[in-house]
Amino acid sequence: MRSMPYSKKVIQHFKNPHNQGVIKNADAVGKVGNPVCGDVMKIYIKIGRKKVDKGGKAQEGKDFIKDIKFETLGCAAAIAVSSALTDIVKGKTLDEALKITKDKIVKDLGGLPAPKVHCSMLGIEALHKAIENYKNKIIK
C-alpha cells in the first residue's frame, strides 16, 4: 500500500511548529484525544478585548484570541494541524475562531492524506473546547 506524501507546508509546520508550548496563565485550555490513533492535543488560549468603534462611539469590546499555544502528542499531521490552526485563529474574535472548519485547515496545509484528515477535526475540537471552557468561566 502506497501512502500519499505530506505537502511541503505540512512538513514545514511539523519540522518548525508555530505557537508550540504552554501559556502558564491561560484563560482557558481545551484538551482532546483520539483513542484510535492515540493523538492528544491541548490548546491554550489567552483572551483580549477589542474596542469596537462605530461612528465615533466606543462600544462594548469583543473577546478575541490574543495568544494561543498548543501541546500535541501525535503524528506529523497532528502537529502540523495544531501549528496551522493556531496561526489561523490568532487575533480572531471567538465567533470568528468558532467558524474555522477542518476543511479550511486541510486547505491551508495543502491537503492531508485521507487517513490523516481526522487530525484536522481533532484540532477544531480542541479549539472549541478551549473557547467553551473560557465562556463557561466568564458566565459563572
- Condensed to tens digits (0 to 9), the pLDDT of residues 20-79 reads 999 999 999 999 998 888 899 999 999 998 766 666 555 567 899 999 999 999 999 999
Cell of 131: 473557547
Catalytic pick among 43, 78, 81, 119: 119
Quote the CA–CA distance of 135 and 127 in Å, as a whole number.
12
Catalytic pick among 7, 31, 37, 66: 37
> What is the maximum alpha-carbon separation in the chain?
62
- Please indicate whether residue 75 is annotated as part of the active site: no
Cell of 71: 501541546
pLDDT, tens digit, 9 for 90 and up, residues 67-126 = 999 999 999 999 999 999 999 999 999 999 999 999 999 999 999 998 898 888 999 999
pLDDT at 138: 78
What DSSP designation does 74 have?
A: S
- Quickly name the fold that domain 8-139 has: Sufe protein. Chain: A (3.90.1010)
Residue position matching grid coordinates 479550511: 104
The torsion defined by the Cα of 19, 138, 41 and 7, in degrees rounded to 10, comes to: -50
Quote the CA–CA distance of 79 and 23 in Å, as a whole number.
17
Stated as kind and residue range, the H or E segment containing 9 is helix 8-15
- Please indicate whether residue 119 is annotated as part of the active site: yes
Q: At what angle do helices 76-89 and 8-15 cross, to 10 degrees?
A: 90
Quote the CA–CA distance of 120 and 46 in Å, as a whole number.
22
Q: How far apart are the first and last CA of the chain?
A: 52
What residue segments make up the domains of the chain, in order of their start?
A: 8-139
Q: Backbone phi, then psi, for 119, in 5-degree steps?
A: -60, -35
pLDDT at 122: 92
